[in-house]
Amino acid sequence: MPFRHKDLKQTIPNEVIVPKPVHHRFYGYGLPNINPEALIGTLIVIEGADGSGRSTQISLLVDWLESIGHATVQVGLKHSTLVSEELNKAQEGNILSHTTMSLFYATDFADQLENVIVPALKAGFVVLADRYIYTLMARDLVRGMDEAWLRNLYGIAVVPDAVFYLSVSPENLVQRNFAKKHSLDYWESGMDLGISRDMFDSFIKYQGMIREQFGRLQKIYGFTVIDGDKSIEEVNAELRKKIEAVLKRKSLNRRKND
Amino acid sequence: MKTFGEMGYPGRLIAVEGLDGSGKTTQIHLLQRWLEKQKLKVFFSEWNSSELVKSATSRGKKMFLLTPTTFSLIHATDFADRYDRHLLPLIRAGYIVLCDRYIFTAFARDVVRGCKPDWVRGIYSFAALPDIVFFFKTDLDVSLKRILDGRPQLKYYEAGMDMGYSNDPVTSFKIFQGKLLQEYVKMSNEFNFVEVNGNLCVEKQQAYVRKVVAEKINLLDYKQDRNILYLNKEKSEQ
């Protein structure tokens, strides 16, 4: 990615922004024995489908954040020591019910939340989360799980300082997935839902359904939507501008009421 | 929350709850034998026994990876797997399902570990209530003695060592069990537990358990050769 160095040179400021500690809170009942006010770091979430450019953007952001003086931790879904092995097995076999899968993912999320996100926030790090509870909720909602049940379940989550949703059209996602792996993923195509035996059809319809759920979740949780159909550079410039505002503790348009 | 019977399912679910050493496992085993001898359709399911989830749980326990939240969620995952794959389908097929521990074990343990009661209950809200819950209420000293006499090696989470009550496993176990007993007692009225005096001898307890089951469930409906009859009945009720 040759543009990176040139871009970064232009944006590295002489002074390091020192973020003021903010009071975090939980969405619901939260975690036992954790005072959310002790979480003095910054939690930034990047959401979006596979192929929306999340990981590319996150690696650029880590590079940039460290260059401007912020200790950064990355966290993603399904990487925990506790359950990732069994989760992979469960996915391969496709034998678990929606409720079971949902709780399995929630366990994985809780493990990362308590063992990675919370300690990093306590230490004042910038945490970049590659997906958060919203993807898990959107997937479950598409599969007919009860919204109130999900909101209670994920009431353990810390409210992030910013959530960016990389919105990419399903057609564009198909192209990017093919360019990357020449195949579509079974789960990202929603094949378990039986929408269509045709994977291409299923992918387009499923991603449309997920987008619709994200639209609903956006109204509840107030994400910042980023046009992910734009170029990597344009998306990254926009993210950096917005994250800089977050670090200066300026409110993004979505956080008027906080 | 409703029981399986109240929800119109043909099967029935009987659960046993209580502290370790309260005698519940012995009692449900004897109940199972009695029902099987009558040629009834019976299925037995144990807490924390779903094949796939179990390996994650035991790794978590061995490596001390579990927090109150993940301890709660991984047991809920295990329960959901058994509920959706075994309990509910069998209940729909007109079985008497026997459960050694049900959601109340989670309600007691997770709350003692510091999870919010409403959060835990919300998570398990997908499950119907048992038609009968036997609560084996034993004096704390009696259940402690049964466990401590027979099995001196207490496991870390079983003894509640993660709670930091004490560095001594036996002391920690006693404190933890005492708190669990308080939670069970609090739930007893709310969930209509049938209390069994766990201090009595095995036979007296079993006689009472069988009497309650025979009173509350029309056992003839669950004969193995009644399949067709039952399916028809289910249809006509709809």
Residue A207 maps to a domain:
no
- Among chain B residues, the shortest Cα distance to A146 is held by B126
Among candidates A85, A99, A107 on the partner chain, residue whose Cβ is nearest the Cβ of B126: A99
Q: Which range, of A105-119, B117-131, B153-167, averages the lowest pLDDT? A: B153-167
Which range in A108-117, A245-254, B100-109, B216-225 is most confidently predicted, on average pLDDT? B100-109
- Which residue stretches of A113-153 are H helix? 118-122, 133-142, 147-153
Residue A51 maps to a domain:
yes
Among candidates B70, B77, B113 on the partner chain, residue whose Cβ is nearest the Cβ of A100: B77
Please choose, from the candidates B180, B209, B198, the residue with its C-alpha nearest in 3D space to the C-alpha of residue B139.
B198
- Among chain B residues, the shortest Cα distance to A93 is held by B52
Position A78 scores a pLDDT of 67
pLDDT exceeds cutoff 70 at A257: no
Give percent of chain A with pLDDT exceeding 70: 90
Report the DSSP pairing between strands B96-100 and B12-18.
Answer: parallel
Position A147 scores a pLDDT of 95
Q: Give A68 or A254, the one with higher predicted confidence.
A: A68
Mean pLDDT of B188-213: 96
> B65–A152: do the CB atoms touch at under 8 Å?
no
pLDDT category, A251, cuts 50, 70, 90? Answer: low
| A11 touches B at CB < 8 Å | no
pLDDT category, A10, cuts 50, 70, 90? Answer: low
Which positions in chain B touch A114 (Cβ < 8 Å)? 67, 69-70
Q: What is the pLDDT of residues B17-53, one digit of tens each?
A: 999 889 999 999 999 999 999 999 999 999 988 887 8
Among candidates B70, B80, B122 on the partner chain, residue whose Cβ is nearest the Cβ of A100: B80
The shortest C-alpha distance from B234 to chain A (Å) reads 25
> A153–B66: do the CB atoms touch at under 8 Å?
no
- What CATH number has the domain bearing residue A148? 3.40.50.300
Helix (H, G, I), strand (E, B) or coil at A246: helix
pLDDT category, B118, cuts 50, 70, 90? Answer: very high
pLDDT exceeds cutoff 80 at A156: yes
Q: Which of the 8 DSSP states describes residue A117?
A: I
Q: What is the pLDDT of residues A70-100, one digit of tens each?
A: 999 999 876 677 777 777 777 777 678 899 9
pLDDT exceeds cutoff 60 at A158: yes
> A99–B80: do the CB atoms touch at under 8 Å?
yes
> A28–B119: do the CB atoms touch at under 8 Å?
yes
- Among chain B residues, the shortest Cα distance to A104 is held by B77
Apex A88 CA angle, A158 and A128, nearest 5? 30
* Exposure of A203 in the CB half-sphere (CA atoms within 13 A): 21
> B118–A156: do the CB atoms touch at under 8 Å?
no
pLDDT exceeds cutoff 50 at A190: yes
Mean pLDDT of A229-255: 86
Q: Give yes or no for a contact between A247 and A125, defined as CB atoms under 8 angstroms apart.
A: no
- Among chain B residues, the shortest Cα distance to A33 is held by B114
> B56–A86: do the CB atoms touch at under 8 Å?
yes
Which positions in chain B touch A85 (Cβ < 8 Å)? 55-56
Among candidates A82, A85, A96 on the partner chain, residue whose Cβ is nearest the Cβ of B70: A82
pLDDT category, A170, cuts 50, 70, 90? Answer: confident
> B65–A32: do the CB atoms touch at under 8 Å?
no
Residue A123 maps to a domain:
yes
Number of cross-chain residue pairs from A and B with Cβ atoms under 8 Å apart: 93
Q: Which range, of A11-15, B13-17, B35-39, B71-75, averages the lowest pLDDT? A: A11-15
Which positions in chain B touch A133 (Cβ < 8 Å)? none
| A35 touches B at CB < 8 Å | no
Report the DSSP pairing between strands B12-18 and B132-137.
Answer: parallel
- Among chain A residues, the shortest Cα distance to B70 is held by A107
Measured in whole angstroms, the distance separating CA A30 from the mean position of its chain's CA atoms is 19
Residue A173 maps to a domain:
no
Residue A219 maps to a domain:
no
Q: What is the mean pLDDT of chain B?
A: 90
Q: What is the pLDDT of residues A19-70, one digit of tens each?
A: 887 889 999 999 998 999 899 999 999 999 888 999 999 999 999 999 999 9
Position A1 scores a pLDDT of 44
Domain, as residue range, for A106: 21-165+231-251
The shortest C-alpha distance from B76 to chain A (Å) reads 7
Q: Give A110 or B1, the one with higher predicted confidence.
A: A110
> A86–B114: do the CB atoms touch at under 8 Å?
no
Among candidates B55, B77, B125 on the partner chain, residue whose Cβ is nearest the Cβ of A149: B125
> A155–B80: do the CB atoms touch at under 8 Å?
no
Which positions in chain A touch B62 (Cβ < 8 Å)? none
Among candidates A29, A32, A81 on the partner chain, residue whose Cβ is nearest the Cβ of B65: A81
**Residues contacting A138, CB < 8 A, separation 6+:** A210, A213, A214, A217
Q: Give A95 or B148, the one with higher predicted confidence.
A: B148
Q: Domain ranges for chain B, please list them.
A: 37-137+178-226
ipTM of the complex as predicted? 0.84
Architecture per CATH, domain B37-137+178-226, reads as 3-Layer(aba) Sandwich (3.40)
Q: How many domains does chain A have?
A: 1
The shortest C-alpha distance from B206 to chain A (Å) reads 34
Show the tokens assigned to B192. Answer: 């209509």
pLDDT exceeds cutoff 50 at B10: yes
With tokens 């074990």, the residue in question is: B105
Position A90 scores a pLDDT of 76
DSSP string, chain B: --BTTTTT-SSEEEEEEE-TTSSHHHHHHHHHHHHHHTTB-EEEEESS--HHHHHHHHHHHHTT---HHHHHHHHHHHHHHHIIIIIHHHHHTT-EEEEES-HHHHHHHHHHTT--HHHHHHHGGGSPBPSEEEEEE--HHHHHHHHHHH-----TTTTTGGGTS-SSHHHHHHHHHHHHHHHHHHHHHHTT-EEEETTS-HHHHHHHHHHHHHHHS-GGGGBGGGHHHHHHHHHHH-
Position A141 scores a pLDDT of 95
Q: Model pTM?
A: 0.86
